[in-house]
Amino acid sequence: MHVGETKEIGNWRFHRYAHSFQALDIEHIGKRGKKCVEISVDLDSTDHTPSSLILDLAPSLGVEAMKALFETVYMDETIHTYEVRGVDVPLTPINLHGSNWTLSSDGQMASVQESEVNEYTLLMTKSSAKKFYNWVVANQDKISEMKFRDWSDLIDTLGLKVHAYCALD
């Protein structure tokens, strides 16, 4: 991985900083009362190769196995392990495009924008954004065929609070 790059593989989010490599267990992100484990190692800014082995094995590894792999791959380096509250870890942003709409959500903010002439936009309130995000994540298979009007109906069905406006207003 190159500096500044982030990848999500399985239950892991990997990020390459200038002088470190980090793996974050994302199984419990956004959840209250749950912990996410962060494993990191300090590296030279030119060292890219060891992280590729970890990325290849990541989908099948739990937290303890990931710690052991870090210790094996980076045996000469200091490994740091932290627990962070799941609710404090930012959710993975979602950006999707449909036939006549664009959706973006990160759990704190969510919007669906029509991509036709009027550019009508549905902007979820902060209290509804997390519920909307969770619905989108759980229903990825249904989303591809939706039209903009379907989003409006869905938001009503879910009881979400939304601000609706038009670019022409």
How confident is the prediction for the chain on average, in pLDDT?
A: 85
- Which pLDDT score is estimated for 53? 81
Average pLDDT of the segment spanning 50-56: 79
Residue 169 pLDDT > 60, yes or no?
no
Beta-sheet strands, E only, within 12-154: 12-16, 20-25, 35-42, 79-85, 94-97, 101-105, 110-114, 120-124
Q: Model pTM greater than 0.85?
A: no
* Contact partners, residue 71, CB within 8 Å, separation at least 6: 79
Distance CA 97, CA 88 (A): 28
pLDDT band at 45 (very low <50, low <70, confident <90, very high): low
Q: Are 61 and 69 in contact (CB under 8 A)?
A: yes
- Please check the confidence at residue 146 and state whether its pLDDT lies above 70: yes
